[in-house]
Structure 1
């Protein structure tokens, strides 16, 4: 084994020397080689174009639109009318005249209590009234023939009035055993059944008028002088994704909340299909006014700059000019330009990172009248 070690070492040294010679030969320049640079050839630019080549960009024309001044808030839908029906007297439920969730008309009987006693009292009151009327007519006839005194006639008249009052009272007692709908609406889900004994004031069923709904919301007090009854607003809700429901301001609370410095407003909206229900959370957009011919640009045209400023690249005769702008409202991917641009100007919407002030541009799919740099 020791006799072979010098041979192995010699082979390794020869191999290393060969690799070193190959590496030296590969790094030497060769005349006419494919990798040799040509004398006088201009250097290639990194994107395939020269330093002064036009930059490909996309543009848009500044448009004039009518914008609405608005304010957003959140609110909750409430019924136009809402009541929990309760009996005025204690009694046993004799009949329920509605089905859960059913629409009912004003005056419809919803719940009847056992009224056997009240009906008997009514019958007694009618009999007493009939007797009192007969006695009064008889006394009146006798008084006309001078057989009775004036006091007898007055006494008969008083008894007649008492009998009439007793009849009215019996009718009122009987009416209180029937619970009727005070307005058109939809009844809720009952928690009582026929035969249940209920006390006066117990909750029986809720009745909601939801053909028209109201929405209550609050706005900061600084908007107090800009809101008024009759203003239009839009509602949106997760219950109706993508839908916009029109509503109208109905009332403004005269009292400003001293804790939150907010004013409460109520608006009303039609709900003919009953798709919305009381208690639903909604987003409110109140339109305070409209402004015509407002210049707007796509959001993509704006480039942020230091100092909380923004600018755009305006295209003039195939070249761009950096223009600082002041913006206003944002609506559906467009931004109002308060200062810096006018309607009809052309601005870059894509490719701003490759631009500098005064750079030449090639416009992809240029609108009519927009110059291209060749």
Structure 2
């Protein structure tokens, strides 16, 4: 039973708790109207937007994620072409072979010199002989059967043999580096794809020459994933961050794309800013250069009952029983 003396206060407390959500919503509405720059849309800051308005559509277009014009800095003639326009290629796949007959001979010459052991073996045997000779002269010198000059000459011969072996070892190392250089030059004559993609243009064919002044051979584009370029009012895109997921409509189908880049630069005249999104395209179903719509979804906020109660207690401190 509720005491008649406490009944009025109980009714007041019940009324306040019942009206708390209404009070909180009214205060939230008042703050929203006082600060129109805050928006109910992800990335939208247009004044006057209501919570019931439709999402904003941004016009955008698809673009190849990578667009690479493959070339060579070597001077050679094209010997074979292993990829045609429209062909799908994998990273590391051989596309073009330049004539490498001269370079292959240079590689064999360098390999022969780098693997030669005769000079080093001769120097090692000479060094071992000079060491034995020095030990013999030392023993004779200790018995006074060899002069100081003979001992000095034996030591000098040993030093010369040591230096000769070191010189041959350094020469061998230099020849190994020359071999590696020749092999690298040979590898540069085999043109491989740096990415998974599609060949969209063949610039040169078999028998044509390539040089540093005219290096281009093939053009390859990466279509998985696709890149989406969208532009909008800087205030609309103000709260979008890298990593956000936005719905995009492409050929009547809605997919999810991830924001990869938000331009830090705003055009001073138009107030526009652009963003870039990544759209998975594993089956190459969509091509580059087609129009898409990027939708900025509403971001609705509501206060639950506990938040409403806490806000009411802050408004009426005498209700706090802590």
Same fold (TM over 0.5): yes
Divergent runs of 4+, >4 A? 66-69
- Number of equivalent positions: 224
Within 1, Cα distance between the matches of 2:126 and 2:293?
79
Bigger shift: residues 222-231 or 173-182: 222-231
Could you tell which deviates more after superposition, 147-156 or 95-104? Answer: 147-156
Alpha-carbon distance in structure 1 between the residues aligned to 2:287 and 2:258: 18
Name the SS of the counterpart of 1:74 in structure 2.
Answer: strand
1:126 Cα deviation after fit: 0.5
Deviation at 1:95, TM superposition (A): 0.3
Following superposition, the deviation at residue 67 of structure 1 comes to: 6.5
Instruction: Give the match's secondary structure for 1:172.
Output: helix
TM-score, normalised to structure 1's length? 0.55
Distance (Å, rounded) in 1 between the aligned partners of 2:180 and 2:191: 18
Structure 1's 85 and 288: CA in aligned 2 closer, same or farther, altered over 3 A? farther
Counterpart in 1 of 2:249? Answer: 236
The whole-number CA distance in structure 1 between the counterparts of 2:199 and 2:121 is 50
Picking from 126, 132, 136, the partner of 1:142 is 126
Of the candidates 212, 235, 242, which is equivalent to residue 225 of structure 2?
212
What is the distance in 2 between the residues matched to 1:181 and 1:68?
49
CA distance in 1, matches of 2:80, 2:241: 48
Q: Quick check: which has more Rg, 1 or 2? A: 1
Q: Deviations over 1:289-327 (max 9, x none)?
A: 2468xxxxxxxxxxxxxxxxxxxxxxxxxxxxxxxxxxx
Check if 1:107 corresponds to 2:117.
no
Name which of 64, 77, 83 aligns with 1:92: 77
Structure whose residues are more often strand by fraction: 1
**What is the SS of the residue equivalent to 1:266?**
strand
SS in 1 for 2:183: helix
Matched, 1:179 2:191: yes
Give how far 1:100 is off. 2.1
How far residue 285 of structure 1 moved from its aligned partner, in angstroms, is 1.5
* 2:109 aligned partner: 124
| Structure 1 alignment gaps of length 5 or more | 1-65, 293-374
Residue segments in structure 2 that go unaligned for 5+ positions in a row: 1-50, 131-157, 303-322
Aligned partners of 2:123 and 2:161 also within 8 Å: no
Asked if residue 226 in structure 1 is aligned to residue 239 in structure 2, the reply is yes
- Aligned counterparts, 1:1-374, within 5 A: 70-131=55-116, 133-146=117-130, 148-200=160-212, 201-237=214-250, 240=251, 242-287=252-297, 289-290=299-300
Give the secondary-structure state (helix, strand or coil) at the position aligned to 1:161.
Answer: helix
| CA deviation after TM superposition for structure 1 residue 141, in Å | 4.2
Measured in 2, the distance between the counterparts of 1:259 and 1:214 equals: 26
Is the contact between residue 231 and residue 288 of structure 1 (CA under 8 Å) also seen in structure 2? no
Query: Which one scores higher on RCO, CA 8 angstroms, separation ≥ 6?
Result: 2
Q: Distance in 1 between matches of 2:297 and 2:121?
A: 72
